Structure 1
């Protein structure tokens, strides 16, 4: 009889703990830092690192209200190739996420900085963006309110892209197809479409890796030695993220 009472008591305690865990309050904020490396830093399909490896890292802070801010940086080579003097790209961004029925929206602003760039037309760029996610798919529109990445008279350039993430059901792998279009105001010869498909793997404890096939339909982006910076390639990436 005593054993039965003890067993019932343990079951009741276990149920209470489970309910408490299920109704645990949402944290007021989440914060994380990350560091990683890629075999080629491709942004919107174009190599920023002259088809060579790059080091990257960032930090993010998000409040439960939906507001967030963050920063991210990468080593680059394209500014020096264009005659400037910047070795790094530093991004600053902030926005607000909210739900509208079945669609998750994200609106915000992103500032790309290239310290000590010294180009005739500053590559520093500010974009406003809005995205909507429904199920596995996300559609995003980005609009430049400054010149875009050093292109003269390119204010009001834009980028629109569609992404989706699917669980393959094998070894914890995800697959992410992507297609995007970069329209560059008054520089139509440099407008282009890019596409990619990536496999991702989360190894746990903050470690993750990805392997992507990336390509574009524009061969006008060239390195000083004539290499096509938008050509098809495979990009391997590794990252470690620490959450507070």
Structure 2
């Protein structure tokens, strides 16, 4: 090996070794978790994600994983669900990453999430989010940064309209009310971008009230009534449903 190349290789090897050494504490405490669930109806922000049927029961198979980098607060993850509201597509695949930390007795969570629909890219959407949790209360805001917004607007839609700056604000409450039983409730508000609202699409409120029972070993059964306002525009997809979900975390 020529001397110059050897020097460069040695420098690269030392740099790589130092980087690995710096990262080793991070990887040493990294943790991988997974989850799988079967739900009677998948609703996203109060709306049915299977618009092909008007029945209350529209089963969906869901699951994903989370990878946390030890005590650093950084994490990445993926979550998937069967869906049926975009032509040619039957899967939603979410990819996200972020940073969690605690300040002033509040748990904070900042990150980015991309919704991917492999069979029809018109649905692809990217959001930034921030959440604050204090005791049983959580407030979360998600802000669309992509031009595309779930098929309503964007470069792939071809309409020339933008979904960017659509916002979603949610307040949630979760509290164990007796051993193994947790009460959960949430209310959210979707405010569409000006381009989407120019089509006559109204902003709306969604809600969910229910609870979950922990069987132990990561198995839980949840039940909730979930729906949204503006049914006169969106139709039955916003209709309130009693949703049952059996989940397993590992």
- Normalising by structure 1, we get a TM-score of 0.80
Deviation at 1:221, TM superposition (A): 2.4
Alignment of 1:209-228 (within 5 A): 209-219=221-231, 220-222=233-235, 228=236
- 1:187 matched to 2:196: yes
Q: Which runs of 5+ in 1 are unaligned?
A: 1-26, 223-227
- 1:73 matched to 2:85: no
- 1:61 matched to 2:73: no
- 1:40 matched to 2:46: no
More helix by share: 2
- Normalising by structure 2, we get a TM-score of 0.78
CA contact under 8 A between 2:91 and 2:117: conserved in structure 1? Answer: yes
Quote the Cα distance in structure 1 between the aligned partners of 2:131 and 2:35: 23
Partner of 2:13 in structure 1?
A: none
CA RMSD of aligned residues (A): 1.3
Deviation at 1:30, TM superposition (A): 2.1
Partner of 1:187, secondary structure, is helix
Quote the Cα distance in structure 2 between the aligned partners of 1:125 and 1:113: 7
Partner of 1:174 in structure 2?
A: 182
Partner of 2:169 in structure 1?
A: 160
Partner of 2:234, secondary structure, is coil
Q: Which runs of 5+ in 2 are unaligned?
A: 1-27, 154-161
Quote the Cα distance in structure 2 between the aligned partners of 1:184 and 1:161: 15
Quote the Cα distance in structure 2 between the aligned partners of 1:200 and 1:154: 34
Deviation at 1:184, TM superposition (A): 1.2
